[in-house]
Amino acid sequence: MRAVVVGAVESSRVAIDAIGQAEGWSLPLVVSLPAHLSHRHSDFVDLSDAAAQANAEMLDATDVNLPEIRKAVTARQPDYIFVIGWSQICKAEFMAIAGGGAIGYHPSPLPRMRGRAVIPWTIISNEAISGSTLFWIDEGVDSGPILDQQFFHVAPGETAATLYRRHMEALRQMMDRTLAALAAGTARRDPQDERVATWVAKRTPECGRIDWNAPAAEIERLIRAVGRPYPGARSRIESRGHDMIIWNARTSPDGSRHLARPGQVVARADNGFTVQCGDRSTIEILDWESADGRPPTMHMILGQPGR
């Protein structure tokens, strides 16, 4: 069986590794973004080493629907195209290249949470259960029949990094099962139940801006949701004219002992500082960075002035 992988992130690498190691499969081509467009994905991964390990040729593409890209993929005569980690709609002409069809991956238990930025949204919305899904790509967005699916609980304190890792582990297990099923002709095509479909919206770095008027637990959850490999939570240090990026924090139980404005620094320590939140609880900032490398001073107000 012959496959082509299209992608530019860690899940793409997982698919490449699985296909490269699967008995009876070959991977003649990997299509990915050129390095100068890596900003399209906050979790961009250079796939050249993984492709080399799988004996696959690399092809840079800005748009897989371009005639020259379709021609290059067609020349490899793939049985299946795996579009995994590629934030672009593949048109019917591209999907028709592979005789067996095109396969996508989504880090959610489809049909729940179709769309973008699923891992951050999973944490922000306090989901108790998540899952990874391989599906057959159709004309919609994340709406095609399910090929394989693996569920798991979202642990308390889950971060973007830990949840991302768990999805990659699930994807590898699904890829091994799926490649065997495709080769044997026993692959699933279970229609998604549209009655329970939900959608999540695209997020930008600005979506990680902290509103210190919110409860401490909500702010802590946002920080966990948008941490590495994503752009991080942010708050303006207005007096210094730049944003501070916050990577890790924890709620502290003694917020009611402080009388302060939301966003005001109420304590300092060698390894961080504590900020008042809107519900009179506080949050301890444990990992942060700023343009000048300096922590905020005592009683400084973070966020927009006058809030």
If pLDDT is split at 50, 70 and 90, which confidence band does 9 have?
A: very high
Average pLDDT, the chain: 94
- Measured between alpha carbons, how far is 265 from 243 in angstroms, rounded to an integer? 15
| Per-residue model confidence as pLDDT tens digits over 120-166 | 999 999 999 999 999 999 988 999 999 999 999 999 999 999 999 99
If pLDDT is split at 50, 70 and 90, which confidence band does 255 have?
A: low
Please report the pLDDT score of residue 38 as a whole number.
87
28: nearest Cα among 81, 67, 70, 68: 81
User: CB-based contacts of 89: which residues, under 8 Å, 6+ apart?
Assistant: 141
pLDDT for 77 beyond 90: yes
Q: What structural domains does the chain harbor?
A: 2-200 (3.40.50.170), 206-290 (3.10.25.10)
Please report the pLDDT score of residue 257 as a whole number.
80
Please report the pLDDT score of residue 40 as a whole number.
85
CA-to-CA dists, residue 244 to 79, 154, 231, 260, 307, angstroms: 48, 28, 12, 20, 17
- Measured between alpha carbons, how far is 233 from 68 in angstroms, rounded to an integer? 40
pLDDT for 304 beyond 80: no
Please report the pLDDT score of residue 156 as a whole number.
92
**Phi first, then psi: what are they for 113, rounded to 5°?**
65, 50
Share of the chain above pLDDT 90, in %: 87
Average pLDDT over residues 8-28: 97
